Amino acid sequence: MKFEGTDSYVATDDLMIAVNASITLQRPLLIKGEPGTGKTVLAHEVAKALDRPLIEWHIKSTTKAAQGLYEYDAVSRLRDSQLGDEKVKDISNYIVRGKLWDAFTQDLSPVLLIDEVDKADIEFPNDLLLELDRMQFFVYETQETVIAQNRPIVMITSNNEKELPDAFLRRCFFHYIRFPERDTMQEIIDVHYPDIQKSLVREALNIFYEVRDVPGLKKKPSTSELLDWLKLLMSDDISPDILRTKDPKKLIPPLHGALLKNEQDVHLFERLAFLARREQGN
């Protein structure tokens, strides 16, 4: 059971090692990296490659750790008691399973994705320490202990909005997805758009890395933005020549909205283009 990338995901050597180490030792894998470098997609691809079910738990700022285990639906129980429903006698009817519980009770050990763990409260990871370590937890209401039949493959993504506690980090493997180099990027594009013209890709990549190099951008365009942009270029049937043009009047790349997502960034880019134009005019 080894992960070696898939036909729709290019995994670098170091990423593969990290994923395989976490699978072999059954420890969580913490993935960080610039937005849009394929952190979340990785879990999908690992699940696909290993043929495992994928359970996704998306974290929001209001998510509590306990919600991943279970929730006690007191309101339904109260209502049922009003209506004289027989169900009310058994409290376990009102225990709603969370994602972790789901993951623990699968027949085949699933891939559990805990997405954007840094969105939650600063104590959130601490509250999950024991559960992720021992892969078991206790349900007070029914006095039962839920133990994972098969330890799930846990993947956790983080966008670095909050620092994660040391105790939590110690239990994980860590991988930082670096922004892909040109060669890797070419591979990624080949995987996604096998029919795209080579020259278009080359010109587009030139522009893409140029845009990334513009100092002071709030949000640098990343892999997912490049792929979107290429899709647009293809559907609009833009020829490589238009991208290659150094005509000062057209310094802003076509369909730049796919690359620059921030109004200030577009302004900045326009201003730089304007300056470049003026320099050329002189």
Partner 1 sequence: MFFDLFYELKAAKVPVSLKEYLTLLEAMSHNVAEYSVDNFYYLSRSCLVKDERNLDKFDRVFGSVFKGLEQPEEGTVAEIPEEWLRKLTELHLTDEEKANIEALGGWEKIMEELKKRLEEQEKRHQGGSKWIGTGGTSPFGAQGYNPEGIRIGQEKSRHRRAVKVWDKREYRNFDDSVVLGTRNIKVALRRLRQFARDGAPDELDLDDTIRSTARNGGWIDIKMRPERRNTVKVLLLLDVGGSMDDHIRTMEELFSATRTEFKNLESYYFHNCMYEKVWKDNRRRHTEHIPTSQLINTYGPDWKLIFVGDATMSPYEIVYPGGSVEHWNEEAGQVWMERMLDHFKHSCWINPVPERHWEYTPSLQMVQQIMGHRMFGLTLDGLDRGMRSLAR
Residues lying near partner 1 in the complex (CB under 8 A): 13-14, 17-18, 20-22, 24-25, 27, 30, 32, 62, 74-75, 78-79, 82, 122, 161-166, 169-176, 178
Nearest approach, Cβ of residue 105 and partner 1 (Å)? 26
Q: Quick one: 96 or 250, whose CB is closer to partner 1?
A: 96
> Rounded distance, CA 44 to CA 76, Å?
34
Q: What are phi and psi of 222, to 5 degrees?
A: -125, -175
- In the complex with partner 1, the residue whose CB is nearer, 48 or 119, is 119
Give min distance, CB of 8 to partner 1, in A. Answer: 22
In the bound state with partner 1, the residue whose beta carbon lies nearer, of 66 and 234, is 66
Asked if residue 16 lies in contact with residue 175, where contact means CB atoms within 8 angstroms, the answer is no
Give me the least distance between CB of 111 and partner 1, in Å please: 18
Taking the alpha carbons of 182, 187, 189, 195 in that order, is the dihedral positive or negative? Answer: positive
Calculate the CA dihedral of residues 265, 228, 201, 16 and round it to 10 degrees. Answer: 100
- Report in angstroms how near the CB of residue 13 gets to partner 1 at its nearest: 6
Compute the least distance from the CB of residue 27 to partner 1, in Å.
Answer: 7
In angstroms, the CA 15 to CA 2 distance is 12
Q: Between 23 and 200, whose beta carbon lies closer to partner 1?
A: 23
What are the strands of the beta sheet with 153-158, ordered from one edge?
54-58, 111-115, 153-158, 29-33, 173-177
* Beta carbon nearer to partner 1, 221 or 253: 221
| Segment (H or E) for 34 | none
SS3 178: coil
Task: Please provide the distance, in angstroms rounded to a whole number, between the alpha carbons at the two ends of the chain.
Answer: 63
Q: Closer CB to partner 1, residue 43 or residue 243?
A: 43
Name residue 96's amino acid. Answer: V
In the bound complex, what is the minimum distance in angstroms from residue 165's beta carbon to partner 1? 7
Given a contact cutoff of 8 angstroms between Cβ atoms, the answer to whether 22 and 29 are in contact is: yes
Closer to partner 1 by CB, 33 or 253: give it.
Answer: 33
Q: What is the CA radius of gyration of the chain?
A: 24
The residues with which 32 forms a beta bridge, in sequence order, are: 158, 176
Q: Measured from the CB of residue 31, what is the shortest distance to partner 1 in angstroms? A: 11
